[in-house]
Amino acid sequence: MKVLVINCGSSSLKYRLIETDTKTVICKGLCERIGIGGGHFKYEVIGSDNGYEKDVEFPDHNTAVDTLIKAITDPDKGVVSDVSEIGAVGHRIVHGGDKFTGATYITPEVMSVIEECSDLAPLHNPANVQGIKSCRKVMPDTAMVGVFDTAFHQTLPEEAYLYGIPYEYYEKYGIRKFGFHGMSHEYVSKETAAIMGKDVKDVKTIVCHLGNGASITAVDGGRSVDTSMGYTPLDGIIMGTRCGSLDPEIVHALVEKTGKSLDEVMKLLNFESGVYGLSDYMSSDMRDIRDACKNGNMAAKRAFNTYIYVIVKYIGAYMAVLGGADAITFTAGIGENSSSVRKQVCDRLKGLGVELDDEANNNGHGARLISTASSKVKVYAIPTDEEMSIALSTVEVLNKQNKV
């Protein structure tokens, strides 16, 4: 089946058309600067030079969806002859609260619940909802499925998702850990089991999704049992510009000492902290930090070392949570590409049975084992593919609903 995957942000829309039977991408692209002027459209056809880029004004998400559907169905450069060839649309939805434990067929009732979750992700969910509405306009008869960043973590036990605050605030306001990057953690933990030649039910894996946003998840038999992001994606390990976990009193202290408002401090913690802030605003990009470290830059070293330390701490904690791990898997931009981050992390885990194979770590490509044969805990680098995960989940939901 051809599944159109839509990842809709407030001013951008990423799309990908996937043939799920063969797990191949047919085309992909991006609509940029929706609603803010100066829009740009990218369309890439895999294995063909029919792709192009052009400036297009996108006053709203409807125009963006119109543009991409016209590109896909264009008689000359398109990849399908009619929109009816698209079997389903899979929408990435950031927050499903505790209402969705898996990918869900989108009915009007489901739409209302997704809208209710908007207060948990005010920057993301309204855009996701808009994406669904825009697709509905052009494809009123096509099945739509919502795939949630939070759903994979709905298996967290109570002891892992509760915070140490009065229980009534969980009951009244739903303050709890949700976790994010669920599609990636699910996909990568399944791939880890597959590459080990084992059933996912028999494997304990720690998945390190290290991208600009980053989270680490303990996966026991295919179920998420703890994860580093929390009520919001600000929690957990240090990220590109996000601070990760810190003493809540620091927020209070920053408001008092800097004279910034609470909103300004929250902005600082989201956009000016993490690797970027620790490196004296040098860069949030690990490639820049790595290069600056090589040149002996102390600010870059400080940021790098702190970043590594926090990752090691979370992995150690999750080894305890799992009662020992069979595998640690690195994924996402940094996890897949940075041999130096993997090396520094794994070297600090030697005492816990982790032995990196330097040759495989430095020189291999793609999904692979990067630990030695004698390493008690196997280490893998596996590219994540959130879009493929969304497409496959979409088909799974339709199969269950007998919609295919």
Question: What positions carry a catalytic annotation?
Answer: 149
* Binding status of residue 233 toward ligand AMP by CB under 6 A: no
* Binding status of residue 270 toward ligand AMP by CB under 6 A: no
Query: In 221-357, which residue ranges form alpha helices assigned H by DSSP?
Result: 249-258, 262-271, 274-278, 286-294, 298-322, 332-337, 339-347
Q: 3-state SS of the chain: helix, strand, coil percent to 5?
A: 45, 20, 35
* CB nearer ligand AMP, residue 130 or residue 384: 384
DSSP state of 354: B
Closest of 208, 272, 280, 217 to residue 240, by C-alpha: 272
* Binding status of residue 240 toward ligand AMP by CB under 6 A: yes
* CB nearer ligand AMP, residue 290 or residue 368: 290
Task: Tell the smallest beta-carbon distance from residue 263 to ligand AMP (Å).
Answer: 25
* Binding status of residue 236 toward ligand AMP by CB under 6 A: no
- Cα distances (angstroms) measured from residue 179 to each of 58, 173, 175, 228: 32, 17, 12, 7
Task: Tell the smallest beta-carbon distance from residue 275 to ligand AMP (Å).
Answer: 8
* CB nearer ligand AMP, residue 304 or residue 314: 304
* Binding status of residue 337 toward ligand AMP by CB under 6 A: yes
Q: Is the dihedral of CA 311, 314, 320, 326 positive or negative?
A: negative
Using the rule CB under 6 A, which residue among 143, 328, 332, 379 binds ligand AMP?
332
Question: What is the rounded CA–CA span in Å between residue 9 and residue 13?
Answer: 6
Q: Is the dihedral of CA 217, 218, 222, 225 positive or negative?
A: negative
Amino acid letter, 224: S
Stretch that binds ligand AMP, among 48-56, 266-274, 328-336, 343-351 (CB under 6 A): 328-336
Assess contact for 68 and 362: CB atoms under 8 A.
no
Task: Tell the smallest beta-carbon distance from residue 172 to ligand AMP (Å).
Answer: 35
* CB nearer ligand AMP, residue 265 or residue 334: 334
Contact pattern from residue 271 through residue 300 relative to ligand AMP, giving x for each residue in contact according to CB under 6 A and a dash for the rest: --------------xxx--x----------
* Binding status of residue 338 toward ligand AMP by CB under 6 A: yes
Task: Tell the smallest beta-carbon distance from residue 59 to ligand AMP (Å).
Answer: 28
Task: Tell the smallest beta-carbon distance from residue 21 to ligand AMP (Å).
Answer: 27
Strands 143-148 and 24-32: unpaired
Amino acid letter, 47: G
* CB nearer ligand AMP, residue 14 or residue 204: 14
Chain residues in the site for ligand AMP (CB under 6 A): 211-212, 240, 285-287, 290, 332-334, 337-338
